[in-house]
Amino acid sequence: MDPEIVYNVQQGFFWDWKVALDLFLGGAGVGAFLVSVGLYEFWGRKYKRIPQTAAFLAPVLVGVGVLILMLKLGRPFHIFETFINFAPTAPLWWGGVFQTLFIAGALWYALLWRDLEPNPKRRKLGLALTPLALIVGGYHGMLLAVIPARPLWNTGPTVLAALAAFVTTGIAAVMLVHLIRMKLGGRLADPEHVQTFLTDLTPVRHVLVGGLILQLGTFFLWWQSLRFGDLADRTALAVANAGFGPMYWWLGIGVGLVLPIILGVAAVWKDSPEYNPRRLVWTVGVASCLILVGGFFFRLSVVLAGQLNPLYVTLP
């Protein structure tokens, strides 16, 4: 008979959907910022409207994420304690300080995008904020990965998956919001504008496909490291699968990664003999929604499942 252990400790999830939403929005915001800087600075500075959308989206997403996280705090009005104390060993402290700096910087950067004319100040600021964006993006993976008490999170691929997720969800958020912006501005009905949008999107689409494949790879690595890890790792994986397997596999991977890849391949394949811009726009919109939905449920399932691990406390 397996040992029966009774240990009555506080029940429930310590971190819930609000933490998952913060990780999701924070990651997508950082991704959006990098899309803005990357698309404008590293692809010949010919794209303007999409980087503009991305620039405005970045501080909003990260800011909303932080606000939602504050709702989770027991004493949200004491948040200033994070800024007046020095706690460099705590990822949350890094998150608090660097996310605040990033939001302020990204807001400034967005304001410099009010007009589409080249702006050297904007360029310098964008490049200066890029390392900060990467730190904030990394924080969203590190927050979970540095906790040995939670074997599901405490792996290297956790960080890699978070990095890949901020690339894919960031791009998806930018594409979706830009489509909505085009629709609202009446530009979606104009074939010339649609053509420009699709052309401008080409490098982003390539990065997105790379990100999706990278994300699938990191998920596989993650699964492998747990599946062939020690007893605690294997237990954590089994418990996570039993509790949140369907959410993770169907919504996180199926909806968020596999379907968008299939959609993209199908669109390119079908359109090869006869180019159909409207179908491509439709594909971009649907794929973006799927990536965002999947991205959120991936975060949610991981945050919750990581805490399911039974507190198997006993003596050796």
Partner 1 sequence: MAKRYGMVIDLHKCVGCAGCDIACKSENNVTDGFAWSNHILETHGTFPDVQFRYIPTLCNHCEDAPCVANCPTTAMHKSEDGLTLHDASKCIGCRACQVACPYGVIYFNEKAPHPRFMEDDEALIPGVTSTGQETAEASGAPIPYYNPARAETYPDIRPKGIVEKCTFCDHRLAKGELPACVDACPADARLFGDLDDPNSAPAQALAKHDSDVLKPEQGTKPRVFYIRDY
Residue ranges in contact with partner 1 by CB under 8 A: 1, 3-10, 14-15, 72-76, 78-79, 81-82, 85-87, 89-93, 95-96, 146-150, 232, 307, 311, 313-316
Sequence-distant (6+) residues with CB within 8 A of 238 are none
Give, in degrees to the nearest 5, the angle at Cα 64 between 142 and 48: 95
Q: Which residue number, 44 or 148, has a Cβ lying nearer to partner 1?
A: 148
Output 112 or 232, the one with its CB closest to partner 1: 232
Would you give the distance in Å from CA 53 to the centre of its chain?
17
Q: Which is nearer to partner 1, 96 or 294 (CB)?
A: 96
The CA distance from 64 to 199, in Å, is: 31
Q: Please report how close the Cβ of residue 235 comes to partner 1 at its closest, in angstroms.
A: 13
Residue 283: CB atoms within 10 Å = 19
- Nearer Cβ to partner 1 (5/265): 5
- Dihedral angle of Cα 186, 187, 189, 195, to the nearest 10 degrees: -170
Radius of gyration over alpha carbons of the chain, in Å? 21
Q: Which is nearer to partner 1, 46 or 78 (CB)?
A: 78
Q: How far is the CB of 223 from partner 1 (least distance, A)?
A: 22
Asked if 281 contacts 194 with a C-beta cutoff of 8 angstroms, the reply is: yes
d(CA 36, CA 132) in angstroms, rounded, equals 14
Residue 79 vs 134, nearer CB to partner 1: 79
Alpha carbon of 155 to those of 144, 159, 251, 312: distances in Å? 9, 8, 22, 19
Given the complex with partner 1, which of 76 and 185 has the nearer CB atom? 76
Question: 128 CB contacts (<8 Å, ≥6 apart)?
Answer: 105
DSSP assignment, residue 196? Answer: H
Closest approach, Cβ 124 to partner 1, in A, equals 31
CB of 145 to partner 1, least distance (A): 12
Distance CA 130, CA 33 (A): 8
Tokens 């990536």 locate to 291
CA gap 141, 30 in Å, rounded = 13
CB of 160 to partner 1, least distance (A): 21
Minimum Å distance from CB 314 to partner 1?
6
- The CB-of-33 to partner 1 minimum distance in angstroms stands at 23
Q: What torsion, rounded to 10 degrees, do the Cα atoms 173, 179, 181, 183 define? A: -150
Nearer to partner 1, 44 or 316 (CB): 316
Q: How far is the CB of 157 from partner 1 (least distance, A)?
A: 19
